[in-house]
Structure 1
Amino acid sequence: MIYEFQVLTDINIDALLGNYNDRLRWIKQRGYIPSLSCKELEGNVNLVILRLEGDQSGGVFRNEDVVYIFKHQISEILAEHIVKDWEDKLLRREIMRSCRHLPLDERNSVHQRAADFLKKCHDNESLNLLMNFSRKNRITHRLLDYISTNLTVNVEGFINFCMQDYLTELKFAVEVALEELRNQKEYNDFVNLLRYFVDTQPPKIYEVNLMMGANGIFYLWDGQGTKIEENYINYYLDEMLMDEINLDDVLISILITIAPRKIILHNVANLNSEPVEMIKSVFKEKISHCPGCERCYQYAPSKDQHKH
């Protein structure tokens, strides 16, 4: 019995070749001889010939059973080849199609974000089961159906004509990445606007000390240790009561209004909260960190009860 299947692919096949040998141990143990040969055609296309020889018709498994198992192994190998080796090229192709208007550095950013999104889907157990495992399984079954009635597969043609749902998932990853990039650009523009506002108005208070507490509570005092007037907070009180603005927004708005030339952060070394990161982005060189003072210990986050 001799069975032969041919694969045409223009992506590096080193991983495919190693995977081939690893997966066929069971077939070898049954006395069959799988082999593989490869040659490069024009246009850097690799022709891979997968071959199975042997005859154990008197054994437990019929030849046709072993051939079916061989086809299934080929399907799994090619599915991994597509997901691991083709995906980067397919992402770049989709980015060139949908993000051609973007400069190169932004296209590269979209590519990195899309690849990270797909990697997170792979690394996260739940998302992996939902997307990556399902994706690979679908490709495997689609390949097995194809291999059952064909003796040659052109991997790129198979992806384009038989795996539109897979391409749609890659397109979705690019759309997610593009939306992230837009949001980041909008955030950066907003931060730059706030920085311009802060830099072009005189400070109402030269130095502000800030301590962040639990549940968004914050403490503000000036360079002389005096609590900053309640007027700044009362200005936003009505909006806070109507749930139209939260404490984080109030804090940032107060600091923008005061426009201090120096902000000392207390007890935030291990606090990566959104308002703290925004404040760092807006005030940058005006920011310094308290190494530890009496108030740091007195108003540690675990003791938060009321604004001080």
Structure 2
Amino acid sequence: MLYEFQVLTDINIDALLGNYNDRLHWIKQRGYNPTLFCKELEGNINLVILRLEGNQAGGVFRNEDVIHIFKHQISEILAEHIVRDWEDKLLRKEIIRSCRHLPLDERNSVHQRAADFLKKCHDNESLNLLMNFSRKNRITHRLLDYISANLTMNVEGFINFCMQDYLTELKFAVEVALEELRNQKEYNDFINLLRYFVDTQAPKIYEVNLMMGAAGIFYLWDGQGTKIEENYINYYLDEMLMDEINLDDVLISILITIAPRKIILHNVANLNSEPVEMIKSVFKEKISQCPGCERCFQYSSEKDYKG
């Protein structure tokens, strides 16, 4: 019995070769001899010949069964080749097509964001693994259908003509990455505007201490320990009551209005929130963290801390 399938690919095949040998132990144990031959053609095209030889007349498995298993193994190997070795090239091709107006550094940013999105489009790591497996599994089934009806495959042609849904997924990833980049640029422009505003006005209070509590609650006091937020919160009270503005926006607005030259952040455990990150971006070198003071200790030890 002799079965042979030929693959044409212009992507590096080192990983494919190693994967081929790793996956075929079961077939080898049944006395069959799977081999692989590779030849480089013009234009850096690799011709890969996947061959299965052997005969198990009278065995548990018929030759046809082993050939089908071999085809399935080839499908899995080629699916991994596409996802691992081709996906980066396909992403770059889509970025060149849809983002040619962007400078090189921004195109590279879109590429990185798109690749990250394909690998980690959900916060749940288990869901990421499941979705990546599902994408590769769909490619495997499409490959198996093709291999069952053909003896030769050009990988790029197969992707372009038989995997339009896969290309649509990559296009969507690029669109998501492009939107993220636009949002990031708008955010950076907004931060720069706030920074300019802060740097060009006189501070109403030189030093502000900030302690973040649960559920967005915050406490502000000046260098002498006097609470300062109440007078400023009253200005936003009507909008807060109508749900037109939240506490995070109020905090940032208060600090922008005060424009302090020094901000001390307390209660380090609660400093990874979005408003605090924005405050750090706007005030930068004006920010310092409290190493631990009486108020920090009081907050951590009292459930009903009042500031």
Q: Is TM > 0.5 for Structure 1 vs Structure 2?
A: yes
Q: Which range is displaced more, 39-48 or 49-58?
A: 49-58
1:101 shift after superposition: 0.8
Change (3 A) 1:32 1:229: closer
CA distance in 1, matches of 2:243, 2:180: 27
1:303 shift after superposition: 2.9
Deviations 1:189-236 (A, max 9, x none): 111010111111111111111111111111111111111162211000
1:290 shift after superposition: 1.6
1:24 shift after superposition: 1.1
Is contact 1:195–1:282 with CA below 8 Å preserved after alignment? yes
1:299 shift after superposition: 2.8
Change (3 A) 1:6 1:302: farther
Residue 292 of structure 1 aligns to a residue whose secondary structure is coil
Change (3 A) 1:252 1:128: closer
Is contact 1:121–1:132 with CA below 8 Å preserved after alignment? no
Aligned position for 2:160: 160
CA distance in 2, matches of 1:248, 1:144: 54
Normalising by the residue count of structure 2, what TM-score does the alignment of the two structures yield? Answer: 0.95
Please give the root-mean-square deviation of Cα atoms over the aligned residues, in Å.
1.7
CA distance in 2, matches of 1:127, 1:181: 24
Q: Which range is displaced more, 289-298 or 74-83?
A: 289-298
Change (3 A) 1:32 1:171: same
Normalising by the residue count of structure 1, what TM-score does the alignment of the two structures yield? Answer: 0.95
CA distance in 1, matches of 2:50, 2:291: 66
Deviations 1:119-155 (A, max 9, x none): 2259955534653222111111111111111110000
- Give percent identity, aligned residues only: 92
1:111 shift after superposition: 0.8
Is contact 1:37–1:49 with CA below 8 Å preserved after alignment? yes
> Unmatched 5+ residue regions in structure 1?
none
Deviations 1:154-202 (A, max 9, x none): 0000000000000111111111111111111111111101011111111
Residue 303 of structure 1 aligns to a residue whose secondary structure is coil
Change (3 A) 1:51 1:44: same
Is contact 2:212–2:270 with CA below 8 Å preserved after alignment? no
Is contact 2:9–2:156 with CA below 8 Å preserved after alignment? yes
Change (3 A) 1:123 1:133: farther
Change (3 A) 1:123 1:30: farther
Residue 153 of structure 2 aligns to a residue whose secondary structure is strand
Change (3 A) 1:122 1:140: farther
Is contact 1:4–1:151 with CA below 8 Å preserved after alignment? yes
Change (3 A) 1:167 1:59: same
User: Following superposition, which runs of at least 4 residues in structure 1 exceed 6 angstroms of deviation?
Assistant: none
CA distance in 1, matches of 2:30, 2:122: 34
Change (3 A) 1:127 1:171: farther
CA distance in 2, matches of 1:165, 1:210: 51
Deviations 1:59-87 (A, max 9, x none): 12111111111111111110111011111
CA distance in 1, matches of 2:217, 2:136: 47
